[in-house]
Amino acid sequence: MPAWDEPAVAAAAGRLRLAIDARRRLGAGQRLGTGAGASLEFHDHRAYQPGDDLRHLDWGVLGRTDQLVLRRYRREASPRLELLVDGSLSQGHPPAKLALTCALADLLASLAEAEGLHPVVWWLGTEALSLGRGWRAALRSATAGGTAGPDRRLTLAAGSDRVLLSDGLCPAGGPAIVRHLGAGAGRLALVEVLTRQEWQPTAAGPVRLEDVEGGAVDHVLEPAVLAARQERFVRHRQGWAAALAGRGPGVVPIVVDDGFPAAVAALVKGGLVTPRGSG
């Protein structure tokens, strides 16, 4: 895998910070974490998601509105950011796609360290691995492998903020992934890393398409075929957006071909990071 521009990542880390909910920011090195318990101060409500603990449902709201919402509480805590990096084969084609994905994971984990958020980096490739304290070196030597991608059952920390870095092109679809990776999470986001050709494929004659996770097939890339493909792609992305609605930044689109500076700008625009000195 080609190395990314490490000085560029370090420079970006020096001028940015994670965009943390102001209600969770107390001061240098101190944050408000979410949790549950009678002794904790009420924080806010959020919509119920499949897999959430039913003990935290607000039965009063349910009785008045028939809406399933959870009561969230806050306490002084040392919160956690969990980065879920898709290392499946589709992320490795082209190699620049995986390199940019890992560079963005490096940046977000570095910013989390600076905020005292104790980043935990998961690699979802041939198997699901927590990279531990050596996450930076592991990301720099990572190679794509396996077919499951983000469709994994993981033991994640309750109340943690979670960011999935992936092309999002998993067969299970966004709603299914969000249900099992988002259960019990604080904020949740998808950094959607795709090449320009994946965003908007161009017409061609007879070709052999290679699905690196499913095999090759002969096909004709004509306008009608591409239009149908694009319609499916739009519905797929809408599924992600709907599943992530109300849970944080949502979907943050990244175009591999535009390079690292444009990807950083997309993180800012998407609300994951903010320039230092703002907010």
All structural domains of the chain? 6-18+79-272 (3.40.50)
pLDDT at site 166: 94
Q: Containing H/E element for 69?
A: strand 69-77
Evaluate if residue 77 carries a pLDDT over 50: no
Evaluate if residue 234 carries a pLDDT over 80: yes
Q: Is residue 207 a contact partner of residue 147, using CB atoms and an 8 Å limit?
A: no
Mean local confidence (pLDDT), 109-137: 90
pLDDT, tens only, 215-228: 544 445 567 777 77
pLDDT at site 102: 96
Evaluate if residue 42 carries a pLDDT over 60: no
Asked, as a colleague might, if the bond just before 94 is cis with ω within 30 of 0, I would say yes
> And the tokens for 236?
């797929």
Q: Containing H/E element for 233?
A: helix 223-244
Q: Within a 10 A sphere around the Cβ of 80, how many other Cβ atoms?
A: 19
Evaluate if residue 62 carries a pLDDT over 70: yes
pLDDT at site 28: 38
Evaluate if residue 245 carries a pLDDT over 50: yes
Evaluate if residue 160 carries a pLDDT over 90: no
Range in 145-149, 197-201, 248-252 with the lowest mean pLDDT: 145-149
Give Cα 4 to chain centroid, integer Å: 20
pLDDT, tens only, 246-262: 888 999 999 999 999 99
Q: What is the pTM of this model?
A: 0.76
pLDDT at site 35: 41
Give the residue from 100, 97, 89 showing the smallest Cα distance to 146. 89
Evaluate if residue 71 carries a pLDDT over 80: no
Please report where in the chains the tokens 């028939």 appear, as a residue. Answer: 66
Q: Indicate the pLDDT class of residue 66, thresholds 50, 70 and 90.
A: confident
Mean local confidence (pLDDT), 234-246: 91
